[in-house]
Amino acid sequence: MIDKEFDKLISTAIDKDQDLPEGLSCRLDSMIDNLEREEQVNSQSKKSRIVSHLFIWTSSIAACLLISILLLKPQEPRFNDPIQYASLIEDTYSNPKDAAIATEKALAILSEKFNLGIETVNNSKKKIEKVNKDVNNYLNKIK
DSSP 3-state percent helix, strand, coil across the chain (nearest 5): 80, 0, 20
Q: ∠ CA(50), CA(54), CA(56), 5° rounding? A: 120
What does the pLDDT look like over 24-74, one tens digit per residue? 667 777 888 888 888 877 777 777 778 888 888 999 999 999 998 888 877
User: Model-level pTM?
Assistant: 0.33
